[in-house]
Structure 1
């Protein structure tokens, strides 16, 4: 009987994205990256999607590939028009003129002193970068040269606009500016004012304050074996409730009250042994510029500590009173007296028994 149960659990674990036996399989990493991938398309389908969403594909590239694409695009552009200028000079007979300062009577030069491919490449480079013409310049009496010049300038301006916009977009991505926003690696469950609360802490290590901080969360829970159920969770901050925090200076501790109607109340052990993941989303804005900041993280069942709370962090006159940033997420034992919970403090190994709400007796 035991062997059969273990086998069924193993088969469920192998086919489910959220499994207790494989803690590395999660929806969102601690850094906020999505770890679940959908159907892997074929080569043709993947290439077709990339072409339809070139802007998204460009922004998703790493910086090394972006810089390589930047250099390659301009080199190819110069090389393409160098070939076109060379072909124009060859078709017009300019390559056969030994002295462009004294062309044969009746011969109209399209581009003066373009007498080889190297000179054509140099002329294409000067035209694109608008660094000014010296001895090489297009002849106004050659309509083909003027048309090719206009074509190169138009395509060059489009290329520069795209490259510049892509660089600005990559620099201004909200998730890339959030390295200084840190979530506590562990969430805690403790009792505050007679209520059980799930709490996590966020620290702002950026040099500039953030405003309008909003936090939301979604509970992803496995039900009926392989069904992934999603439920919204509300987190509050002090007396603000679910309203945005107007200023993010000192570390903020958000809490979710584990009431009987809470979606997480039935999922926490020992009430349930089902696997779940709490994904937390944080949004904020930079004061002055209005730039958006977005960051997320997640907490698995084994990343929730019971019977512990975060150490107190106070702020006075705009200065956070704490020795080091690393201590922002330190926890300490606290009393957890409600039914069905236990203290995670394994040092003193004590429990608290409360009878009819009057007093308490400690038993070692």
Structure 2
């Protein structure tokens, strides 16, 4: 670099120009592993007509299907059961001769045809009991069918109510009120480069305890055409949190981190995905829930921090969720964590890993106070727009 370095201070706190270059949307696109709402973009292919795994676990299947399909299944289960038992009642009445004569001793009062048998079946299963049709003691077979029908109706009602309650109390509904920030940020914390994102609970019945895990996910295409998924877990400074108020999850960019050698410019050329999961027990129901989200390199903002949303009042702690996703610029070296650590140890030594300076870029040196060292020189790179 032949450009003469100028020792001056650059303040990016009020800067509105992002110096990171985004990749062209038409070039080098990759498929997301997880969407922002926590759903995985994975489809399963099975042999046509193989429904045995779903039928063996019919309870879970009915909980996971859509509401409109579930209502259709439950409606058909009642209607088909009414039709089935009405056929049995009509067959008993036909064998006993109730459909041909009104002078014999009927098995069921006022059941002379299929329509009356259907109404009798529906009144029996729904326990309506209008008093116009009823069972007599003349046919033991009709009494046995009536008993089976009564037990089956209680069993069907129990299954329907249980599935509806379980579906309404699904973990996905509670997960919608526990949210991650839309972006992750990289800034300095105690003199170290750290990656952080925000986590908050939007309901009044707060979560008392939960655990957080984060993975860097990449897919690698082999020469044979196969795809291999690679997972690298991140070490978090606060994996267990009490979510009474929003908290910031911090990952220190240190040796061993998959992001340790990644500079801001390199960040936009990567195809990894940061998948974060928050597993917790809700205090109202005692059920285990999980909230997930993911961050792509485009969702990571280098040189920014989250705005303060927690204030101390006279009687309460006040949280302003309007600022939950808001970030602001801070002075951060535009270097990877490895190069930054090297410059901290040897501030006057040239760093061979620094990106070269182009014609539309300038290098700035900023003087800041650091707890570990009385004087620290940090190098910044800022883009200059041509008017």
Short-chain TM bin: 0.7 to 0.9
Aligned twin of 1:152: 149
Question: Partners of 2:41 and 2:378 in 1: how far apart?
Answer: 47
Question: Partners of 2:263 and 2:228 in 1: how far apart?
Answer: 18
Aligned twin of 1:358: 375
**What is the CA distance between 1:224 and its match in structure 2?**
7.2
Which protein, 1 or 2, shows the higher relative CO under an 8 Å CA cutoff with sep ≥ 6? 2
Matches within 5 A, 1:66-215: 66-98=70-102, 103-104=103-104, 108-132=105-129, 134-215=131-212
> Is 1:21–2:38 an aligned residue pair?
no
SS at match of 1:206: coil
RMSD, aligned CA: 2.8
Aligned twin of 2:298: 302
SS at match of 2:323: helix
Question: Partners of 1:52 and 1:321 in 2: how far apart?
Answer: 47
> Is 1:44–2:39 an aligned residue pair?
no
Aligned twin of 1:346: none
> Is 1:217–2:224 an aligned residue pair?
no
What are the Cα deviations for residues 63-122 of structure 1, in whole angstroms up to 9, with x where unaligned? 111112222211111111111111110111011223xxxx34xxx321111112221111
Aligned twin of 1:231: 232
TM-score (norm 1): 0.80
The structure carrying a bigger helix percent of its residues is 1
TM-score (norm 2): 0.75
Question: Partners of 2:212 and 2:284 in 1: how far apart?
Answer: 21
Aligned twin of 2:57: 53
Uncovered stretches (5+) of structure 2, i.e. residues with no partner: 1-25, 341-361, 383-387
Could you say if the C-alpha distance between residues 252 and 55 of structure 1 is closer, same or farther in structure 2, counting changes exceeding 3 Å? same
SS at match of 2:212: strand
Aligned twin of 1:285: 281
Question: Partners of 1:193 and 1:186 in 2: how far apart?
Answer: 21
Could you say if the C-alpha distance between residues 85 and 224 of structure 1 is closer, same or farther in structure 2, counting changes exceeding 3 Å? closer
Question: Partners of 2:311 and 2:171 in 1: how far apart?
Answer: 27
Question: Partners of 1:126 and 1:245 in 2: how far apart?
Answer: 55
Question: Partners of 2:141 and 2:130 in 1: how far apart?
Answer: 18
Could you say if the C-alpha distance between residues 321 and 113 of structure 1 is closer, same or farther in structure 2, counting changes exceeding 3 Å? closer
Question: Partners of 1:195 and 1:292 in 2: how far apart?
Answer: 35
Question: Partners of 1:78 and 1:352 in 2: how far apart?
Answer: 82
Q: How many residues get paired?
A: 323
Question: Partners of 1:232 and 1:361 in 2: how far apart?
Answer: 30
Could you say if the C-alpha distance between residues 267 and 53 of structure 1 is closer, same or farther in structure 2, counting changes exceeding 3 Å? farther
Question: Partners of 1:224 and 1:120 in 2: how far apart?
Answer: 65
Could you say if the C-alpha distance between residues 286 and 234 of structure 1 is closer, same or farther in structure 2, counting changes exceeding 3 Å? same
